[in-house]
């Protein structure tokens, strides 16, 4: 059916259809969470811990409560239901009870008539803290006698992967140690939402999020309300990148609204946003690669530590990803991976674009370059020689069944045009590393080229029954047939809602498609993360459209039969018409006396959890990317500039080519940020740079041209053969840029972001002792209230009862 309509219906699958939310966004009319407003609305404010670890001896709210304009001040004792929440483990207090575990942990909340009143009142909440010793170093946290973050210890999860013979000998060994910093998603739209108390004693929460249903699963029990009384609606989302996977202001706004009986809006400031969401886990990685003399990988050892800060968030899944991708998109016959996600008194870490893969990609790609150097081989050749392909076996023993064009992405990437060499003579200062700030004439500028290859899973893994629901309704309007698509899937900026509209246009041959506002009135669509929604919610809309079409065709055949005609050939839809064997039969409109509606749920094929040896068919679909970076370094000033980024991506099939390019370019920018400037700087658990003045993200002047190529080898068994594309660019950009910096300087840069001191050799490479011993596996799983991948989220994947 789709083949005929692909070419005919404008704005369908495969076209660069215009964004459905583009016009309101350019006019400033799109309503983000921070734009919400209601009559009688109050402003919520959060009081946060100034200490990394302290006992709370008492809280005095009298002065805040009596401050004119304040309507409520609430503490942990006021949480109506369960006192803790969390994505996978309910370990995080809604409001700190007797203890705080990181700087920025919420202790009290209040609501006032004006934002300035709320800010001043918050300063009048007096908390009596007894400061306790804190552990803020991930290796320190594993040592005996370290302060314990939780009564169940400082390890959330440990993954051990034993593949083949980890003692297998090799001709050549290379060894390295690598670190990546804590990175902030730096979503431009801060955490924001508004809770509105309802007549039934429940609450309506309008919130910028990535997954409405998993939010409700956490919000409702804490409010002591049944889920049906907690209705979530998607507010406009100003970027996500993982920052909105965890609950932030949700429960607080609802508590204040239910207490005051008035709508309550909470919008975080930029500073508060740095405390209000989880970050990318900082990493320490030890690796040893063994190969034959002709460059075939034989054996890889990896020890991975991720600092998860004070709470679990999605850390167990992040460390599992880091472990399974630790050796890169290469055939590795023997491997041992030990990966630990640690608790410290740092701010919590969880999901960020790439989800564990960027940290290990930084390490394994540096190792591949080291190996190439040790063997005297070209870095691209070492990678090509070991590249995974369909039929390869991963280190978890999984046979790669889908498309795996690793060789193709490397070759296409390297074939992209190189930037021009700078002309002889004086250069435009703007084009020098450091721009106008570079006062030299470019005498010390050296060019370097680096490459990196990486891969990551699409959709959820490890036995999780990932699914998405959608409802599609076709009806008649004065202007012809129209389609309404209802999905709870969050559009976070990546263009998903446009993709869903494109799918409906293609499947039904009707151009006029609108979206019902996303809410919890329909079943879960799962999270807008893991690059999964094009496949999952795209798949759900495709299934629902096909069910609608089936009913439409039944009506067409029935009417033909009652007129004594038999329709020959396959029925299809295009341009608002029904076709039989390609010949028009009639207008779709003629069959819509009653609208047609269908609701369907898409599941991807089942996966398995890792077993005790870290083996299993864990991932559904894998996507691959290669990146080349050309950089210039001023060796005297320690300034760097990326001249060009060249990317080739395996996307299966591009549903919206312009949108795919946008993901590649934007993802590369985020990877460039981690390579050169982005680091949440911590001092005793305190964030020192919680502002855009001090936490730098790439500007227009930092971003070079990005040239990209897309490899389209359709993935079997998924809608249109499309893989996701949201994350891969981010994970390969960082190692490619740092490789180019190494090539330019000859220095063994082993930490991202690279700082000026590193580039001119003022700072030595980060050093480490031997890797810390691995915890016992399988260890006990003593963290309370586990409700994540086993039960809770599975539960909400089932369609809601009507």
Partner 1 sequence: MIVRARVNGEWRSAEVWAGASLLHLLRDHLGLPGSKNACEQGECGSCSVWLDGELVCACLVLAAQAHAREVRTVEALAAGDRLHPVQEAFVEAGAVQCGFCTPGFVVAAVDLLQRDPAPDDATIREALSGNLCRCTGYAKILDAVRLAAQRMAGRPR
Q: Which residues form the interface with partner 1 (CB under 8 A)?
A: 16, 18-19, 21-23, 25-32, 34-35, 37, 114-116, 185-190, 236-241, 267, 269-270, 428, 430, 492-495, 658-659, 661-662, 665-670, 691-693, 697-701, 703, 705-706
Q: How many CB atoms lie within 10 A of CB 696?
A: 16
Contact 525, 519 (CB under 8 A): no
Cβ 195 to partner 1, closest distance in Å?
18
**Nearer CB in complex with partner 1: 218/644:** 644
506 vs 647, which CB is nearer to partner 1?
A: 647
Which residues touch 28 (CB under 8 Å, ≥6 apart)?
A: none
For the CB of residue 309, give the shortest distance to partner 1 in the complex, in Å: 22
Residue 739 CB, nearest approach to partner 1 (Å): 20
The least CB distance from residue 382 to partner 1, in Å, is 29
Tokens of 480: 């012809």
Cβ atoms within 10 Å, residue 22: 12
Of 167 and 700, the one with the shorter C-beta distance to partner 1 is: 700
Instruction: Provide the β-strand partners of residue 85.
Output: 92
CB of 208 to partner 1, least distance (A): 10
Q: How far is the CB of 244 from partner 1 (least distance, A)?
A: 11
Nearest residue (CB) to partner 1, 29 versus 77: 29
Q: What is the DSSP letter of 35?
A: G
- State which residue, 560 or 697, has the beta carbon closest to partner 1: 697
C-beta closer to partner 1: residue 622 or 670: 670
Provide the angle, in degrees to the nearest 10, between the axes of the packed helices 728-745 and 657-676. Answer: 40
CA distance 100 to 76: 12
Nearer to partner 1, 438 or 461 (CB): 438
Burial of 336 (0-12, 13-18, 19+ CB in 10 A): buried
* Cβ neighbour number for residue 303 with a 10 Å cutoff: 21
Bridge partner residues of 682 (DSSP)? 687
- Report the nearest approach of partner 1 to the CB of residue 41 (Å): 10
| Residue 384 and residue 296 in contact, taking contact as beta carbons nearer than 8 Å | no
Residues 6+ apart with CB under 8 A from 736: 365, 450, 451, 452, 627, 628, 629, 645, 671
> Please, what is the minimum distance in Å from the beta carbon of residue 32 to partner 1?
6
Structure tokens belonging to residue 117: 């009143």
Least Å distance between CB 183 and partner 1?
12
> What element of type H or E holds 8?
helix 2-8
Report in angstroms how near the CB of residue 43 gets to partner 1 at its nearest.
Answer: 9
- Cα separation, 574 vs 587, whole angstroms: 10
Rg of the chain taking only CA atoms, in angstroms: 27
Which residues, including other chains, have CB under 8 Å from residue 550's CB and lie 6 or more apart?
none
Kindly tell me which of 466 and 661 has the beta carbon lying closer to partner 1.
661
Q: Which is nearer to partner 1, 140 or 665 (CB)?
A: 665
User: Please, which residue, 308 or 671, has the CB nearer to partner 1?
Assistant: 671
Closer of 428 and 683 to partner 1 (Cβ): 428
Residues 6+ apart with CB under 8 A from 310: 101, 102, 105, 149, 343, 344, 345, 346, 347, 348
Helices (H) and strands (E) in the chain, counts: 18, 33
Helices (H), 475-622: 496-508, 533-562
657 versus 756: smaller Cβ distance to partner 1? 657
What is the distance, to the nearest Å, from the Cα of residue 20 to the centroid of all Cα atoms in its chain? 22
Q: For residues 133-170, b (16+ Cβ closer than 10 Å) or e, as one string?
A: ebbbbbbebbeeebbebbeebbbbbbbbbbbbeeeeeb
Cβ distance to partner 1 smaller for residue 238 or 576: 238
Task: Report how far Cα 581 is from the mean position of its chain's Cα atoms.
Answer: 44
Instruction: Select 573 or 626, whichever has its Cβ closest to partner 1.
Output: 626
Nearer to partner 1, 16 or 590 (CB): 16
Minimum distance between the CB of residue 251 and partner 1, rounded to whole angstroms? 23
Shortest distance, position 22 Cβ to partner 1, whole Å = 4
Which DSSP string do the residues of 101-125 spell out, in sequence order? -STT-EEEEEEESSHHHHHHHHTT-
CA dist., res. 657 & res. 720, Å (int): 14
Task: Show the 3-state SS of 411-453.
Answer: HHHHHCCCCCCCCCCCCCHHHCCCHHHCCCCCCCEEEEEEEEE
CB of 710 to partner 1, least distance (A): 14
Q: Which is nearer to partner 1, 132 or 703 (CB)?
A: 703
The two beta strands, 596-603 and 467-477, are antiparallel
Q: Are 549 and 48 in contact (CB under 8 A)?
A: no
**Minimum CB separation from partner 1 for residue 270, in Å?**
5
Cβ 729 to partner 1, closest distance in Å? 9
- Beta-bridged to residue 456, according to DSSP, are 623
323 contacts 161 by C-beta, under 8 angstroms: yes
Q: Are 320 and 157 in contact (CB under 8 A)?
A: yes
Please identify, using beta-carbon distances, which residue of 93 and 190 lies nearer to partner 1: 190
In the complex, the smallest distance separating the C-beta of residue 178 from partner 1, rounded to whole angstroms, is 25
Tell the smallest beta-carbon distance from residue 667 to partner 1 (Å): 8
Q: Which is nearer to partner 1, 114 or 228 (CB)?
A: 114
Give min distance, CB of 563 to partner 1, in A: 43
The gap from C-alpha 758 to its chain's centroid, in whole angstroms, comes to 29
Question: Cα–Cα distance between 135 and 342 in angstroms, integer?
Answer: 11
Tokens representing residue 494 in the block: 């990546």
């Amino acid at each position: 059916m789709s083949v005929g309509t692909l070419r005919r219906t404008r704005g369908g699958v495969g076209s660069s259809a215009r964004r459905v939310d583009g016009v309101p966004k350019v006019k400033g009319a799109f309503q983000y969470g921070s734009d919400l407003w209601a009559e009688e609305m109050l402003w919520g404010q959060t009081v946060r811990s100034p200490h990394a670890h302290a006992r709370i001896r008492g809280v005095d709210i009298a002065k805040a409560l009596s401050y004119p304009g304040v309507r409520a001040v609430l503490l942990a004792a006021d949480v109506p239901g369960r006192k803790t929440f969390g994505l996978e483990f309910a370990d995080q207090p809604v409001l700190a009870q007797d203890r705080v575990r990181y700087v920025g942990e919420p202790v009290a909340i209040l609501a006032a008539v004006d934002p300035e009143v709320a800010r001043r009142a918050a300063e009048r909440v007096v908390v009596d803290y007894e400061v306790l010793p804190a552990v803020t170093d991930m290796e320190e946290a594993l040592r005996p006698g370290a302060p314990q973050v939780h009564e169940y210890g400082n390890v959330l999860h440990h993954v051990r992967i034993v593949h083949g013979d980890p003692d297998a000998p090799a001709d050549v060994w290379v060894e390295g140690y690598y670190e990546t910093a804590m990175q902030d998603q730096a979503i431009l739209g801060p955490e924001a939402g508004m809770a509105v108390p309802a007549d039934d004693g429940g609450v309506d929460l309008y919130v910028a999020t990535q997954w409405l249903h998993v939010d409700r699963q956490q919000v409702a029990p804490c409010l002591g309300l049944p889920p049906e009384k907690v209705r979530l609606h998607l507010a406009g989302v100003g970027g996500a990148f993982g920052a909105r996977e965890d609950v932030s202001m949700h429960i607080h706004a609802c508590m204040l609204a239910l207490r005051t009986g008035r709508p309550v809006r909470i919008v975080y400031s930029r500073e508060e946003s740095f405390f209000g969401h989880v970050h990318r886990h900082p990493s320490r990685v030890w690796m040893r690669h063994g190969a034959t003399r002709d460059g075939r990988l034989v054996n890889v050892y990896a020890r991975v530590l991720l600092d998860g800060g004070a709470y679990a968030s999605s850390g167990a899944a992040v460390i599992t990803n880091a472990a399974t991708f630790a050796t890169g998109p290469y055939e590795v016959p023997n491997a041992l991976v030990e990966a630990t996600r640690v608790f410290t008194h740092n701010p919590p870490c969880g999901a960020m674009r790439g989800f564990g893969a960027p940290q290990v990609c930084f390490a394994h790609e540096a190792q591949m370059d080291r190996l190439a150097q040790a063997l005297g081989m070209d870095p691209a050749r070492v990678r090509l020689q070991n590249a995974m392909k369909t039929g390869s076996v991963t280190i978890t023993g999984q046979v790669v069944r889908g498309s795996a064009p690793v060789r193709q992405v490397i070759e296409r990437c390297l074939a992209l045009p190189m930037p021009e060499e700078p002309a002889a003579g004086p250069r435009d200062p703007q084009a020098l590393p450091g721009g106008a700030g570079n006062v030299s004439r470019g005498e010390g500028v050296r060019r370097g080229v680096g490459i990196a290859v990486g891969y990551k899973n699409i959709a959820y893994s490890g036995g999780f029954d990932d699914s998405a629901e959608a409802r599609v309704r076709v009806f008649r309007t004065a202007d012809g047939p129209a389609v309404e698509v209802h999905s709870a899937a969050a559009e976070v900026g990546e263009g998903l809602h446009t993709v869903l509209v494109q799918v409906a246009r293609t499947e039904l041959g009707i151009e006029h498609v609108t979206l019902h506002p996303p809410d919890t009135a329909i079943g879960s669509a799962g999270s807008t993360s893991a690059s999964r929604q094009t496949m999952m919610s795209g798949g759900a809309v495709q299934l629902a459209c096909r069910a609608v079409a089936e009913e439409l065709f039944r009506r067409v055949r029935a009417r033909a039969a009652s007129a004594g005609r038999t329709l020959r050939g396959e029925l299809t839809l295009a341009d608002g018409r029904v076709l039989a064997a390609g010949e028009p039969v009639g207008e779709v409109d003629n069959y819509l006396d009653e609208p047609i509606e269908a609701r369907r749920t898409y599941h991807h094929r089942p996966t398995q959890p890792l077993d005790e040896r870290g083996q299993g068919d864990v991932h559904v679909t894998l996507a691959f990317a290669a990146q080349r970076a050309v950089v210039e370094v001023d060796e005297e000033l320690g300034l760097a500039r990326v001249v060009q980024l060249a990317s080739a991506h395996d996307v299966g099939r591009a549903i919206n080519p312009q949108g795919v390019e946008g993901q590649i370019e934007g993802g590369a920018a985020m990877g460039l940020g981690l390579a050169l400037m982005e680091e949440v700087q911590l001092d005793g658990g305190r964030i020192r740079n919680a502002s855009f003045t001090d936490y730098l993200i790439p500007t227009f002047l930092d971003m070079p041209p990005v040239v990209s190529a897309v490899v389209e080898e359709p993935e079997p068994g998924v809608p249109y053969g499309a893989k996701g594309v949201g994350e891969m660019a981010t994970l390969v950009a960082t190692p490619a840029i740092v490789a180019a910096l190494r090539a330019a300087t000859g220095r063994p840069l082993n930490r991202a972001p690279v700082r000026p001191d590193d580039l001119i050799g003022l700072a030595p490479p980060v050093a480490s002792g031997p890797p810390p011993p691995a915890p016992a596996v399988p260890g006990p799983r003593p963290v309370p209230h586990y409700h994540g991948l086993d039960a809770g989220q599975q539960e909400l994947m089932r369609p809601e009862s009507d």
